[in-house]
Amino acid sequence: MSYKLLAIEGSGAYGTVAKARDLRHGRRLVALKILREDHIDNPRVLSRTRDEAIMLTRLQHPAIVGVHSLDESLGRPIMVMEWLEAMPLSDLIDSHEAGLPIDVSCEMVAQASQALDYAYHTTQGHPPRPLKLVHRDLKPSNMLLTIDGQIKIVDFGLAHGDFDEKQADTVSMVLGTRAYMAPERLDGAEDDPSADVYAMGLVLSELLIGRPVKLSLNPRKQEQMLTQILDALPLDPLNLRARRRLRALVQAMCAYEPEDRPSHLDVCNELQTTMALGGLAPNVHAYARQIVKPMVSTRQRQPPEEHPCFDDVRFVEIPQPRLRIGAPHTMDPMLTEVNDERIRALLRSERWTSKLPRLRALLRDPAWTPAPFLEVIDLALEGGSSHFDPRKVAMCLNLLRVRPLDEVIERARDLQEHPDSLIANTARQFLDSV
């Protein structure tokens, strides 16, 4: 790794986002999305993280956050993204009790809707086929406005797409934030852009009203609550024709039945038509320079060392030498033997999952061999042992990513057809990473 941590921007259930300087590429500013250490032995989370990076590298749109690369160290994926001087729309909503300007709100949602239409229909592969990307977690905190007035959709960690390199078995699941989740998603409906349209309708309502809104999953109550939201929309600055169109659009976007909702492209076109009818000439750039830039410049950031997540992400600043496959390496034989025995003792522990931080600390010292991990893996190849634990085998393979020697690769090849799906999937991911 060749990064210098400058600030930790936030942390969630699966990862931490940090501002850093990329020392390998002209000291450019980047955002690092770092998977939390306690998830690196979860193949489903690992696969979803890698899928997110692959999907975003397929997309080149100004309203979608850009991804430079996907790095990996000590078995932990690190998504390297463009750094944005921006504020989430949730913060803008909190700072505008009477709602954001109608023209700015409509223009931002129009830009975002056009980007989501592009993400769903953009083609890839041979023969070309649509990516069919559905975000599945649209909400104000996952949409940013830069100081230059560009909307940016971020956090595609729960997104679903169709592409050849997909690792996760991304079936339709109840994923996302409940307050913005379309009713059909709770019934296990297929992933469809209409669910994102529903969430975008709620985002537009919140931008205009200046506070969070809520709809019911009961169709009768949903209609009543939607009427209350529509009545609260501050549309007086618009002429009657534009008011009716904008109200009707929000109502359609938040329709209970997915087939009653417009497409992303329809939303974009209707917003542009409504703004023209209402005599609106949105200047999001001017708004951002006046409102967003001061908010960004005065935002308080603590040194990364003072953030509670610093110990979990500081490894990105530590150079991690990678050995060439099959390359000889010089180590102190006595120290190597001592470290190997320490590793064996940690792996034999009944509470081995709690020993992962200690294991990773030992692996930072070059004086160790893959032997203790391969012994655990051999139990899986033998089968039938009462000590066999698929999770431990998967963890061993993930830890050995930092030393992918020929003997390790050979074991991984043996395991990629193992009857246990956790072991087989982890072995395939290991081979893909070397």
pLDDT single digits (tens) 92-104:
999 999 999 999 9
Please give the residue that has the higher pLDDT: either 359 or 248: 248
The total number of structural domains that make up the chain: 3
Check whether residue 168 and residue 291 sit in a common domain: yes
Check whether residue 44 and residue 120 sit in a common domain: no
> 33: part of which helix (H) or strand (E)?
strand 28-35
Q: What is the mean pLDDT of residues 161-181?
A: 67
Check whether residue 274 and residue 128 sit in a common domain: yes
Check whether residue 340 and residue 223 sit in a common domain: no
Q: What pLDDT is attached to residue 321?
A: 47
**Tens-place pLDDT, residues 260-272:** 999 999 999 999 9
Check whether residue 166 and residue 269 sit in a common domain: yes
Tell me the whole-structure pTM to 2 decimals. Answer: 0.75
- 3-state class (DSSP) for residue 76: strand
Please give the residue that has the higher pLDDT: either 329 or 66: 66
Q: What pLDDT is attached to residue 328?
A: 38
Check whether residue 130 and residue 197 sit in a common domain: yes
Q: What is the mean pLDDT of residues 294-318?
A: 89
Check whether residue 329 and residue 280 sit in a common domain: no
Going by C-alpha positions, the residue among 145, 164, 7 that lies closest to residue 84 is 145
* Sequence-ordered list of residues with C-beta below 8 angstroms from that of 56, at least 6 positions apart, any chain: 64, 65, 66, 67, 79, 81, 156
Residue 42 has pLDDT above 90, yes or no: no
- Distance CA(350)–CA(64), nearest Å, equals 45
**Tens-place pLDDT, residues 182-209:** 999 887 778 899 999 999 999 999 999 9
Q: What is the mean pLDDT of residues 283-294?
A: 97
Q: What is the mean pLDDT of residues 270-299?
A: 96
**Residue 76 CB neighbours (<10 A):** 23
Residue 139 has pLDDT above 70, yes or no: yes
The dihedral of CA 37, 64, 27, 292: what is its sign?
negative
Q: What pLDDT is attached to residue 175?
A: 65
Q: Domain range spanning residue 399?
A: 323-433
**Tens-place pLDDT, residues 367-419:** 899 999 998 888 877 765 556 788 888 889 988 988 889 899 999 999 998 88
DSSP 306: G
Residue 174 has pLDDT above 70, yes or no: no
Q: What pLDDT is attached to residue 2?
A: 81
Residue 347 has pLDDT above 80, yes or no: yes
Average confidence score pLDDT of the chain: 88
Check whether residue 218 and residue 181 sit in a common domain: yes
Last residue within a domain, chosen from 315, 345, 363: 315
- Cα angle 363, 366, 370 (rounded to 5 degrees) comes to 65
44: domain CATH number?
A: 3.30.200.20
Q: What pLDDT is attached to residue 73?
A: 77
Check whether residue 245 and residue 348 sit in a common domain: no
